[in-house]
């Protein structure tokens, strides 16, 4: 007989909405008012499920959201998410009608892009991105920014920039960040001096709030910290945040392997003694980094079990030789929330990346189970 909702799943994500609520309250202690909170829910809310997360945030009074694409924004509107939705990335000008019809705000990435939007002759709300030194998106010429404000069909409701090394604490990084801040402030002052109605202003993301909270302005774009995770180790956040996501699977097969046998593709792991090996139905197609092959570990029955052999597209193998009473259907925790379990920051460090990438690559085929703990 099946005992709980997880028994029928191959692998799954557990999303703790109580932890999400806790994190919002913690972050708000650093804001002047809750209205400054802009929740970044791009990439399916960093793998947490954008619609469900946004609905929970709506219930908490959060009504400012940021996404990366038009499709992400439309998904929220179709799911009746209330409030402003800012598209931080590029939208083809041929979709201006959708921007208007879904009441979305589009980022203007440069003056030429603004002209293309203007040619559509459809009223649309925009925020102007200012390039203060990251050189990714944004306009750096004040004359061109003024020209955007003078558009007929583009209604500028905001102005923003992005700090590219605000998460780093070296003197060089801090110096560069303050240069970016000064450049942004100069833009604001010049526009105000000529009586432009600049709209809402925002500059800081998660690490900007941690390290440069003086410059919070009207909005703060809260991404990775909203989900209770640091981008990398060592942790910088002094807030008492809680991870929202756990990644779990279960053992589907246990085998006794003789000394000298090989495990997995490429025969990269050869047993040096008789071992007990378990197969777990999760792989790199589910977002588990293949770089964890022969170096990562999971939790089974409260004990660490090393990943052995190469991680496959849909399965991986683990060494459970030292785990007592191991059996099929035992739960395997790949990403956990307590100190005993391996967290996403550790996995990011082991695979030479950041937590943001690990979370945003978690596979679409993993069901999400939402609960309050």
Q: Do the domain assignments include residue 3?
A: no
Rounded CA-CA distance 210/225 in Å is: 10
Rounded CA-CA distance 68/79 in Å is: 17
Same domain, 73 and 211: yes
Same domain, 219 and 272: no
Q: Do the domain assignments include residue 151?
A: yes
Residue 307, domain CATH: 2.40.37.10
Q: Do the domain assignments include residue 1?
A: no
pTM above 0.85, yes or no: yes
Q: Give per-residue pLDDT as tens, 247-300.
A: 999 999 999 999 999 999 999 999 999 999 999 999 999 999 999 999 999 999
Same domain, 164 and 25: yes
Active site residues: 42, 265
Q: Do the domain assignments include residue 5?
A: no
Rounded CA-CA distance 154/115 in Å is: 9
pLDDT value of residue 231: 87
Residue 74, domain CATH: 3.20.20.10
Burial of 56: CB neighbours in 10 Å, binned 0-12, 13-18, 19+: buried
pLDDT value of residue 238: 80
Cis check for the bond before 282: say yes or no (omega within 30 of 0): no
Beta strands in 24-108 (DSSP E): 37-40, 64-67, 84-87, 105-108
Q: Do the domain assignments include residue 347?
A: yes
Q: Give per-residue pLDDT as tens, 143-181.
A: 999 999 999 999 999 999 999 999 999 999 999 999 999
Q: Do the domain assignments include residue 310?
A: yes
Same domain, 64 and 126: yes
Sheet-wide strand order for 368-371 = 253-257, 275-280, 316-319, 303-308, 297-300, 331-335, 245-250, 11-16, 368-371
3-state helix, strand, coil in the chain (%, to 5): 35, 25, 45
Same domain, 261 and 330: yes
Same domain, 286 and 202: no
Which among 227, 255, 287 is the end of a domain? 227
Rounded CA-CA distance 372/19 in Å is: 8
Same domain, 80 and 119: yes
Rounded CA-CA distance 203/6 in Å is: 42
Domain of residue 187: give its range.
17-227
Beta carbons within 8 Å of 171's beta carbon, 6+ residues apart: none
Same domain, 25 and 125: yes
pLDDT value of residue 5: 58
pLDDT value of residue 340: 65
Packing angle, helices 171-193 and 142-149, rounded to 10 = 50
Q: In order along the chain (373 residues), what is the average pLDDT of each group of 10 residues?
A: 61 98 97 96 98 98 99 99 98 98 99 98 99 98 98 98 95 98 98 97 97 96 96 77 96 98 98 98 97 97 97 99 97 85 90 96 92 91
Same domain, 276 and 318: yes
Same domain, 308 and 194: no
Question: How many structural domains comprise the chain?
Answer: 2
Q: Do the domain assignments include residue 287?
A: yes
Please identify which residue in the block is written with the tokens 């392997």.
Answer: 257
Q: Do the domain assignments include residue 251?
A: yes
């Amino acid at each position: 007989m099946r005992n709980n909702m997880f028994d029928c799943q191959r692998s799954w994500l557990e999303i703790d909405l109580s932890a999400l609520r806790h994190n919002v309250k913690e972050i708000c202690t650093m804001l002047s008012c809750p209205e400054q909170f802009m929740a970044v829910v791009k990439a399916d809310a960093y793998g947490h499920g954008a619609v469900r997360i946004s609905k929970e945030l709506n219930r908490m009074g959060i009504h400012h959201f940021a996404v990366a694409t038009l499709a992400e924004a439309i998904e929220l509107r179709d799911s009746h998410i209330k409030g402003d939705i800012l598209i931080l990335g590029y939208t083809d000008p041929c979709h201006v009608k959708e921007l208007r019809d879904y009441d979305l705000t589009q980022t203007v990435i440069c003056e030429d892009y603004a002209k293309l939007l203007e040619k559509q002759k459809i009223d649309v709300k925009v925020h102007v991105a200012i390039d203060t030194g990251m050189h990714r998106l944004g306009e750096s010429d004040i004359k061109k920014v003024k020209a955007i404000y003078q558009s007929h069909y583009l209604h500028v409701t905001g102005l923003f920039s992005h700090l590219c090394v605000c998460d780093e604490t070296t003197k060089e990084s801090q110096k560069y960040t303050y240069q970016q801040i000064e450049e942004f402030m100069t833009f604001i002052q010049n526009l105000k001096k000529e009586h432009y109605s600049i709209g809402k202003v925002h500059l800081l993301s998660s690490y900007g709030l941690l390290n440069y909270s003086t410059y919070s302005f009207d909005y703060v774009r809260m991404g990775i910290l909203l989900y209770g995770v640091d981008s990398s180790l060592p942790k910088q956040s002094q807030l008492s945040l809680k991870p929202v996501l756990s990644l779990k699977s279960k053992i589907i097969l246990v085998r006794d392997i003789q000394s000298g046998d090989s495990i997995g593709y490429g025969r990269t792991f050869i047993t040096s003694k008789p071992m007990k090996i378990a197969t777990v139905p999760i792989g790199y197609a589910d977002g588990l980094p293949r770089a964890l092959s022969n170096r990562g570990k999971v939790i089974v029955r409260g004990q660490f079990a090393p990943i052995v052999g190469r991680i496959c597209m849909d399965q991986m193998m683990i060494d459970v030789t030292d785990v007592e009473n191991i059996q099929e259907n035992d739960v395997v925790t790949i990403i956990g929330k307590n100190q005993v379990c391996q967290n996403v920051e550790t996995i990011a460090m082991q695979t030479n990346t950041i937590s943001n990438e690990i979370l945003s690559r978690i596979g679409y085929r993993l069901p999400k189970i939402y609960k309050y703990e």
